[in-house]
């Protein structure tokens, strides 16, 4: 599995604020290395967040998202919600991490 994410979730007044920090090079495929060769594209393609087994966010990332992406979003939820974040990248590599809304 790829490098771990940092997932934090805090609940306030029925709204859960989720913060996700992902470790990924997110190569657009447009850059060239010092020798002039194009660095192949390699980026997170899809992201899925479930709270207690139900989808709360689906994302289609791509080369426009920069390195080590930080995602912050809110959804209607409660303390103790089990949040599971998964992503798949353009090479088929995967990563899943969890957190509990506090």
Partner 1 sequence: MQRNLTLGLASGLLVVLLTVSSSVLAQKSATDDIAKYREMIADGNPSELYEAAGEELWKKPAGPKNATLEQCDLGLGPGVVKGAAAQLPRYFKDTNKVQDLESRLMTCMQNLQGRDPQEMVDAPFQQGPKKDMEAIVAYVVTLSKGDKIKVSTNHPKEKEMYELGKRAFNFQGGPMDFSCASCHAENGKRIRLQDLPNLVEQKGAALGWGYWPAYRVSSGQFWTMQQRLNDCYRQQRFPFPIYGSDVTIALSMYMAKTANGGTVETPGLKR
Q: Which of 2, 11, 19, 86 binds partner 1 (CB under 8 A)?
A: 19
Q: Which is nearer to partner 1, 21 or 57 (CB)?
A: 21
Among 29, 70, 65, 31, smallest CA distance to 45 is for 65
Q: Which of 70, 74, 78, 91 binds partner 1 (CB under 8 A)?
A: 70
Does 54 sit near partner 1 (CB under 8 A)? no
| Distances 78 to 8, 48, 82, 93, 101 between C-alpha atoms, Å | 14, 19, 10, 31, 7
CB of residue 30 vs partner 1: minimum separation in angstroms?
A: 15
Contacts of 47 (CB under 8 A, 6+ apart): 57, 58, 59, 60, 61, 71, 85, 86, 87
CB of residue 39 vs partner 1: minimum separation in angstroms?
A: 13
Q: Taking the chain, what is the end-to-end CA distance rounded to the nearest angstrom?
A: 26
Q: Which of 23, 74, 82, 94 binds partner 1 (CB under 8 A)?
A: 23
Does 10 sit near partner 1 (CB under 8 A)? no
Written as six digits, the tokens of 63 are 């080369």
Which residues here bind partner 1, judged by CB under 8 A?
Answer: 3-6, 19, 21, 23, 25, 66-68, 70, 72
């Amino acid at each position: 599995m790829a490098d771990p994410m940092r997932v934090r979730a805090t609940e306030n007044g029925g709204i859960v604020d989720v913060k996700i920090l992902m470790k990924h090079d997110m190569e657009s495929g447009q850059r060239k290395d010092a020798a002039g060769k194009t660095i192949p594209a390699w980026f997170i393609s899809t992201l899925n967040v479930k709270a207690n087994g139900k989808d709360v966010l689906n994302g289609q990332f791509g080369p426009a998202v920069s390195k080590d992406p930080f995602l912050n979003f809110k959804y209607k939820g409660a303390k103790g919600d089990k949040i599971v974040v998964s992503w798949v990248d353009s090479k088929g590599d995967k990563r899943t991490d969890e957190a509990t809304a506090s």
